[in-house]
Structure formats: C-alpha cells, structure tokens
Structure 1
Amino acid sequence: MTTVRDATLGVLRQCGVDRVFGNPGSTEIPFLAHLPDDLTFVLALHEGSVVGMATGYALATGAPAVVNLHTTAGLGNAVGALATARVNRAPLVVLVGQQDRRHLAEEPFLAGRLDQLAGPYPVWVDQPVRAQDVPAAVRRAWHEAALHGGPAIVVVPMDDWAVEIDPSLGLAAPVTVRQAAPAPGPAVDEVAGLLDAATSPVLVVGAGADDRASWDALVDLVDRIGAPVWQEAFGARAGFPQDHPRFAGHLPVNRTRLRSVLAGHDLALVVGTAAFRQYVYEPGPLLPDGLAVAVVSADPAELHRSHADLAVRADPATFCAALAGRVAARDRPAPARPVAPAPVPPPVTGEPMWATQVFAALAERLPADVVLVEESPSSRPDLHRLLPARAPRGFVSAAMGGLGFGLPAAAGLRLGDPSRPVVALLGDGSSLYAIQGLWSAARYGCGVLYIVLSNGRYAVMNQLTERYGGTAPWPAFEEVDVHGLARSLGCPSRRIRSHAELVAVLDEVVPTLADRTEPLLLDVPVSAEPYPKA
C-alpha cells in the first residue's frame, strides 16, 4: 500500500531533501512519526528560529529548505520570519499541519484558517482539495519556492497522510522545471546606449546580485566604464565586492542625503534591487534633477516599485556579462576611491569598549571567505565600514528589518555550507528574540562564532528617541546574562571583560572557524553610546 505520506516522502527524496526544520505539534505527528532514517528532523525551540535556521540553510545551499509548522499557532509565530525569508529571497517549502479534514467544517480545537494567515509573504499557498493531491502540491511548492525565491506553503490536514494513493496514476506536477534562458536581447543594446551616452554613470547593486557570476560580470562592467558602485540601503546581502577600489559605500536611507550622493550623475544603473529603498520618510523629491534610472532585476516586484525610466527583467549575471561586452570603454576611467578605513585605536585602560573596536579587532583577523551575519542595528554603519564583504554571501542580514533572524540564520548558513566560516555579530537585544536558537546550533554541531555586543538596552531605539527630542520610556535590561543563557542552552560561552582578552580569544578561535563543529558565544560588554568620531 502506498499512502499520501509515502508518495510525499518520495517527492522530497527526488528533490534531494535530507532534513526537515521544525517544532512539532499534534497535527504534524502523522507525518513526523517514524520519519525514515534518510530524513533528519532539525529541532528549533520556537517557530521563528525554525524558519530563520531554514532560511540560512537555503541561502547557503541555494536550494529550497523544508519547514514543518504547527497549524495556526506555529504558522502565526513564524509569519515575521517568513516575511524575512521572502525579502531575503530564501526558497522554503513550508508544510503546515491542519486538523482532521473529516470535521474541519465544525472548526474543532486546533483547526486554523491558514490560507491567508501569512498574508502576501508566501510566493504560493495551497490546501489541496483532495488528500491524493498533496504530493503534487509539495512538488509544485518546491518549484514555486525555487523560481520566486521565497516560502511556498502547503496546508495538509492531519488525516491526509494515511490516505491510500495509486502510484500508477502519477502526479499532476512536473518532476523538473526549466526556466528558459534566452540571450538578453535588445534590452542590452538599449542599456548599453544609455551608458555610452551618459557623462557620469553610477551603479547601485543589491542582494539579487550576490553570487559569483554576478560579481564577476559587474566587476568587468565597472572596470570598463570606470563608474562608482553603491550598495543598496538595508540590503540583505552584498551585490559587489566591497573591497574593490570602485566601491563607494552604502546608499543613505533618506531622500536628502540620497540626492546629495547621486548629484552630478546623469544615469544610475540599478542591478539586483529596486530603486531606491528608504527608511524614515522625508518630503521632497527622491532623486536629483537630471538623473535617469535603469533597473535590472530577476524579481518583477522590484521592477514595478522602482523609480525608473527603464526596467528590465533579466538574470543580473547574464545581462551584465553581455552588457560589459557591448558598452564602450571609457578613455579616462573614474578615479579609484580609497576604501581603507581610518585605524581604530583600542580603548584606554579603564574606558568602556565600543562595538567599533570589536569590529576593528575582527577586521584584522577574519578570512576573506567568512560569512558575516549582522543583527546589530545601532552599530551597523561602522560594521559596513570596517568589515566589507569580500566574497559572495560574505554579508547576510534581515532585509525585512525584524529582529531574531541573525542567530538561527547563522546556524543554518553553517549547516548548509560547512566549508565557509560563519561569524554572527548581534546586539544583546537582538539575540534575545531568538536566544533559544543556540540550543539548535549546539545540538546540530553548527560551528558558528556568535559575538553578542551587550549594552543592556535597545541602543538604536534610544538613539532614535533622542532624535525626536524625547527619552526612552522603556527600562534597560542590564541584568540579563546572555553568557549564562547560552550555557543553559548547551552552547559554549565566554564572557569577555577587556579588549586585551577579546584579542587573545579571537587569536585563539578565529584560526579554528573553518573546522569548528560546535558554536561559541562571546558575550562582549560594550558602551551604549555611539563611537566617538574624530
């Protein structure tokens, strides 16, 4: 006898799945009980950590990760993390349990209205009309997640798994889906014409260009035309080598400064992101007068929300490689921009340590292939300045902005690609949104170096409140012991009490990062005040 569960497990095997990320609930037990030996259940202690870890794993492997969530409670807990997965372009196949189909009309305990619970963030949602259609729905979810770069949800009533299915009938879903990849076509000539006609072009890159082929194509293009390159604001990943001499920095997040940065350019070519992401609203025009904008992205949603004169839906690597071969070389390339940051001296004895000094110590020691996961909002500009991404996937953050992504995502990134060292830089406030993820990191041998910058408060929120002329109405939480929490969750941890101790520990640990099979958390007290500028 072949059941829906058997057939679905066969689909997952065909897709190369060897693990399921989840936190179990009763409606999922018919699927999870007696899970075969070739499929590992990776446990996280909260659904946000489940999805965060799976997101990191999907980004590391480049293939969809499979997530199991528990009806309304589990899916509801995971919505914020699913939104982050969507904006971070992480393909996920999400199996959501539902109450027994035979009495759903009566809305029994644990029944959920699940098809709209995650809002617009899934790339596809389905609750199959018949139990027999579940395997085909899972196969389609795999293709939808891979194609659109986001979570695809299949809601499965718990009794569906035991329903018999006739394997000779096949599945109403293709085994393999190929996306046609024609030559970029006339759009390349159109964009090349715009670049050739521009007196002072500039490039803006985003997370959609974070792969080796796109980096190589963009470097060829920039070297040919001599243009500066800016990174999108609040990007999930780097779209260009940030140690390249033409890398100019990260775009400002408000209109006034954005206009200032782009002033003097007559064409902005935006690749792998939308034009242009902002944060706090400011009145006035978005762009300076005289600036034309062309956007190239594989994501149609990015194209349609861009302030652009021309939008081209295309694979960034393919398009930019063709573009570099057609655009005219500049006789006088733009001058190279120095990128070496000013030295950061260590603290004077007795002074508090700043996050910037931690970054500077790391900058002297981290290898070029490190995967740096960031969730330290108050010190992110200094992190960008001192720790540039030097390899694809060298920087990973939560483009959606919600906290709780970095800690489990770092574990998933290491689990998905053990060949790359992974370092997560987290604020203590950020870490507390997903601190239970340390248990999973330890349990599954994810050799991440977690550095928690502890100032006992939400420093970025306090700074924003001060800009509005107010004082924070919430208390500090200096009594929280991240070091102790980590140890209680089975994660090795050390509390760092001085800059000298930090340097000694980094000298000991960083050379081991590539081969580590257990996580290590460093709890580093830092000043809550911004780093003093020269």
Structure 2
Amino acid sequence: MTTATVREAVVRFLRDTGMTTVFGNPGSTELRMFRDWPEDFTYVLGLQESVAVGMAAGHALGTRRAAFVSLHSAGGVGHALGAVFNAFRDRVPLVIVAGQQARSLVQLRPFLGADEPAQFPRPYVKSARQPERAADVPAVLAEAYRTAMTHPRGPVFVSVPEDDWDRPAEPVAPRTVHTAFTADPEALAALAARLTACARPALVIGPGVDDEEALAEARALAERIRAGVWISPLSGRSGFPESHPLFQGFLPPVAGQLAARLAPYDVVVALGTPVFVYHVADESPPLAPGTELFHLDCDPGQAAWLPTGTSIVTTLRPALRRLTDLLPEPDRDPPPPRPAPPAAPVAARISPELCFDLLRARLPRDRVLVEEAPSHRDALHARVPVDRSGGFLTTGSGALGWGLPLAVGRALADRRRLVCVAGDGSALYSVQALWSAARHTAPVTFVLLDNGGYAAVRALGRRIGVAPVPGTDIAGIDFAALAESFGCPAARAEDPLELPAALDHALGRGDDTGPFLLHLRVAGSAGTLYEPWAG
C-alpha cells in the first residue's frame, strides 16, 4: 500500500543518489515541492535561472555526479536555456525539474503555464518529459537521473505540475547502471597496427578525456607512441598535462589553421572530441592530404556526423588501456617541445599577458582554474599551463555567463579556493553569481579583466572586414563596487606596479574566507583572432 507522496518519494530518491544540494530560483509552481524541506538538504539560490544552472554544472563537475536544478515553469526555463545549452554541449549531468501549472488548469492556458513543456528545452537535453500521471513522477525522475549519468552524459528535463507533489506515489530505489563499454577488439587492433607503422603520430585531446577521467590513460598512450599532443578547438576542459614535453598547444577553430597544425602528422587520433569545431568559416578542407584521422568517442551521434576519418565508438579508459597494451615500444623520436612565450613586459597599463605571467607564478598547480575571457583565452593558455585532470573549466559552447556561476558551484563541491578569470562582457551576463558566492562563502578569487567592451566581437569583426562593430563598448562599470554591493569583498588595480601585491592579496585568502573579486583595468588588444603567439 502506498504511504508516500510524490514529494516524499522524490526527496528520498535525491537523498539516496547524493543530490542533496539543490540549485534553483523558486516560483509559485514549485512551492509544494518545498513543503517540510529536509534539514539535510542545502538550497543554493541563484538570482537568475541561468546562474542556478551554471552553479549546478560546476557542482556536478566537482563531485563527478549529477546535480539537481529547480526551475520555474516556462519563463524560468527560458531564462536558463543558454546555460542548459552549455551543459549539453559540455556533457554535464544535470537533473532539471521545472514547475508547471496544475493539471486541472493546463487546458485553459493559465498564467505561468508551459505549453508543450517537454519540447521547450529540446534539442539541448538528453531527454525531456512531463509524466502522464502524478504517481509516475518519482519513476520518471529516476529514469532521468540514469539517463543523465549514462555516457555521453548531459542534462535531462522533467516538468512537474504543481499539484502533483502532494499526490500519492511509490518510492523508487536507485539502481546501478554500468556505462563503460569498449570497442570491438578488432577495431582497436587495426588502430594499433596503424600507429605502429606510422612515422609521425599525434593525439587530439577533447573534453571527453576529462569527463571520463582518462587523463592518465591518454598520457600513457602519448608516451608509448611518442605523439605530439594537441587540445581540441575551444575545449571546455583540461585533458593532458600542459607542462609535458609532448604537449604542442591548442588547435584553432578555423579549418585552414587547424589543418595546417595537423599537417605534419600522418596519423592523428582524436579522443573525446568532435575535432572540427569551427568559429570562423573558410573554404579549407578539414585535414591536409596525407593526414589520416581516427576518432574515439562514446557518442555515436558525434561519430556519425564527423566529416572524415574512422570513428570507433567506445568509452575511453578501457579502450586506451587496451590500445596501449597492444603497442610496442617505438623507435621514433618524440616531437620537440613547444617554445615558451616571451615574458610580458611591464608597460604603462596592465596587459593580460603580464597578469597571466604573475598568476602562473602564484597559482598552485593543484588548484582549479575557471575561465571566461574570450578576448584573452589564447594568451591564458600560452602562459598558465594546467597539469591536473579537472584543473581547467570553461564553456566549450560559447553562450556567455557560464564562468562566474560555474566557478561558484565548483568551489562549493570541495570548498577549496579556485581562481576564475573572466572578462567584463562575460561577467555582466551572470554577475548575480557574486551574491550566491558571498551568501555561501564560496572560496573563489575572481580576477576580472576589464577591457571596456566585447573585444572578441571586435576582433572577429576586423577579421571579416566589419569595423567598427556597433554595440561593443561597455566601459565605465565599477565592478569592485558592484561586487561589494552583492556582499563580495573586492579591490581594483590599474597600475602594473601594484599588480603583484594586488594578486597576492586576492589569491592569498584561505579556503574558509569566501569570495574575493579583483577588478583589473587592462589594455585592449588588437591581435588577430585565433592566431597564437607561436605563429
């Protein structure tokens, strides 16, 4: 005999699966879910729905398990969709529950009602449902959780009418789904034979390596075959130690430039990445003649649309272990290591390059770096190497407003201080995250680079012959004062000579002292987009 309500059954399932930190922005259609809110649960309020989703994503990446998000009906889901898009493209497991008006009112198109709620977040969720009956809500939610955690991981969506929460329902026990799978041994043997015979192999490391915690296996493969190692274009994760002598750099999201970087190699093996992520159109082919591509990834859809190469659908850790065991010790020489960039000069104004050189000297290698500064991303990559799995997080999709809340959620996952480098334009999409950081004493040091506008858009405009670009100037905002109004302590610096002490103060705070924001006025850059310093 049923003795539980939908709410009680859902709370029990959330507790059993470890989803006791709930991220959201509450509304009227979710109120019944909060009746008798359990004392062992933590509610993390985002002052805008995309902030709630971004914080949940950071928490999921830190805990390596799905995070629970509560959104408000159609309007709240609409506000959150940019962040949901990022989570989907970056394979972040989220269980998103949105309120819906009462079942008795839905036919009348009520205030705050969602028309076709299961269609609204598509195609940027792995699944989306509104249960047919209230009694089905716990089972549908449990299925959604398993779907979110199955490779390739990602967000799922469940719409729950507000009068369902007090209806009777059977509790659902969590169950285990083992999601690792290995490719056909013959396919891996054929790849091993090709790698043994080739002259100049390379690996392209994508976000899937970090997502599947396969950095050690990727490193072992690279060392066995003495391959040059590149990070895939606009990757949202780390996946290979950047101080390693085999590491060559970051591939640009332009077809001709990408093909030129990989032209010296006869066999390229891409791991957990779609490889051909472009931001700027040109007429170049994806690869130069003589470059053969093999592609290992857990997503059969991604394997299907790849324009060239041989795809092997597999999870990475078991496949890379088997592949490495099949390979003999090579007799080829390793590629030369990439040169270090020249030290940034001290000029009249703070340059991003100087900031990154000083940051590199002060940032412990075991700390996480979150980035959302599109204008300066190439310079950051060149000057602040990341060596640990999970040590770098950003958006691999491009919807701005991801960095600040992602950093807050990631810091709440383990309560260790991390650094978030953000541009002024990016920060304004989700500046409300500073309030959540202060309220929950999230140990984040925000380094905000203020170049007075959307400099990445200006650079892209110059590249395609559009200049000036209207609407790209946003100068005059006092981010330190704005942060302090949210309860986040802050400081500002404009003189390069005061930058070392300012960074020491911002980075030297303990893990229990909450957030801090350092507002830096930086010189703008007129560099060419996606042309790295090494040429």
Name the TM tier (shorter chain).
over 0.9
Aligned length: 525
1:79-102 per-position Cα deviation (integer Å, ceiling 9, x unaligned):
110010011111000011000011
Q: 1:493 aligns with which of 490, 502, 505?
A: 490
* Residue number in structure 2 paired with 1:285: 285
Contact (CA 8 Å) 1:11, 1:139: kept in 2 or not? yes
Letter in 1 for 2:407: A
Q: CA deviation at 1:477?
A: 2.2
Q: Equivalents in 2 of 1:469, 1:339: separation in Å?
A: 34
Residue 126 of structure 1, aligned match among 126, 129, 142: 129
Distance in 2, Cα, partners of 1:15 & 1:241: 32
Letter in structure 2 aligned against 1:146 = M
Are 1:364 and 2:361 counterparts?
A: yes
Using the alignment, how far apart are the partners of 2:262 and 2:518 within structure 1? 40
Question: Is structure 2 residue 254 aligned with structure 1 residue 254?
Answer: yes
Native 8 Å contact 1:206 1:239 kept in 2: yes
- Alpha carbons of structure 1 residues 480 and 192: separation in structure 2 relative to 1, 3 Å: same
Which of residues 369, 379, 387 is equivalent to 1:390? 387
Partner residue of 2:73 out of 63, 71, 74:
71
Deviations 1:132-171 (A, max 9, x none): 0001111111111111411111100000001123x4xx64
Find out whether 1:141 has 2:141 as its counterpart.
no
Aligned to 1:445: 441
Contact 2:206–2:275 (CA<8 Å) still a contact in 1?
no
Q: 1:469 Cα shift? A: 4.3
Are 2:154 and 1:157 aligned?
A: no
Q: Residues 38-95 of structure 1, C-alpha deviation per residue, up to 9 Å, x if partnerless?
A: 1111101000100000001101111000000000000010111001001111100001
**Structure 1 stretches of 5 or more lacking a match?**
none
Cα distance between partner residues in 1 of 2:480 and 2:166? 46
CA gap of 1:383–1:107, structure 2 versus 1, over 3 A, is same
Q: Does 1:32 align with 2:34?
A: yes
Report the Cα offset of residue 206 of structure 1.
0.5
What are structure 2's unaligned runs of at least 5 residues?
Answer: none
Give 1:390's aligned amino acid: D
Residues 17 and 174, structure 2, Cα contact 8 Å, conserved in 1: no
Listed one character per residue, the Cα deviations across residues 193-243 of structure 1 (whole Å, up to 9, x for unaligned) are 121122211111110001695221122111121110110010011221111
Name the structure 1 match of 2:501.
Answer: 504
CA distance in 2, matches of 1:70, 1:405: 19
SS in 2 for 1:230: strand
How far residue 328 of structure 1 moved from its aligned partner, in angstroms, is: 2.3
After superposition, what is the alpha-carbon deviation per residue over 1:98-134, rounded to whole angstroms, capped at 9, x for unaligned? 0001121111111112111112011111111110000
| Cα offset, 1:464, TM superposition | 2.0
Aligned to 2:469: 472
| CA deviation after TM superposition for structure 1 residue 322, in Å | 1.6
TM-score by length of 1: 0.94
Aligned residue number for residue 374 of structure 2: 377
1:33-48 counterparts in 2 under 5 A?
33-48=35-50
User: In the alignment, what sits opposite 1:297?
Assistant: 297
**Aligned letter for 2:89?**
V
Report how far residue 181 of structure 1 moved. Answer: 4.2
Give the secondary structure class of the aligned counterpart of 2:276. coil
1:269-311 deviations in Å (ceiling 9; x for gaps): 0001113211111113121112211101122232222234321
Q: In the alignment, which residue of structure 1 is the partner of 2:193?
A: 193
Q: Which residue of 2 aligns with 1:401?
A: 398
CA RMSD of aligned residues (A): 1.9
SS at match of 1:141: helix
- What is the deviation of 1:259? 2.1
The CA deviation at 1:323 is 1.2
Q: Distance in 2 between matches of 1:197 and 1:51?
A: 47
Q: Which residue identity lines up with residue 423 of structure 2 in the other structure?
A: G
Conserved? CA contact 2:459–2:527, under 8 Å: no
> Within 1, Cα distance between the matches of 2:92 and 2:6?
27
**Cα distance between partner residues in 2 of 1:501 and 1:416:** 33
Aligned twin of 1:352: 349
Q: Distance in 1 between matches of 2:456 and 2:309?
A: 36
Q: CA deviation at 1:319?
A: 1.2
User: One-letter code of the match for 2:401?
Assistant: G
The corresponding residue for 1:13 is 15
Q: Deviations over 1:305-343 (max 9, x none)?
A: 223432111121221122111112211322331443221
Contact 1:448–1:516 (Cα < 8 Å) also in 2? no
> Share of identical aligned residues, percent?
38
User: What residue is the counterpart of 2:519 in the other structure?
Assistant: 523
Residue 413, structure 1, aligned to residue 410, structure 2: yes
Are 1:61 and 2:58 matched, yes or no? no
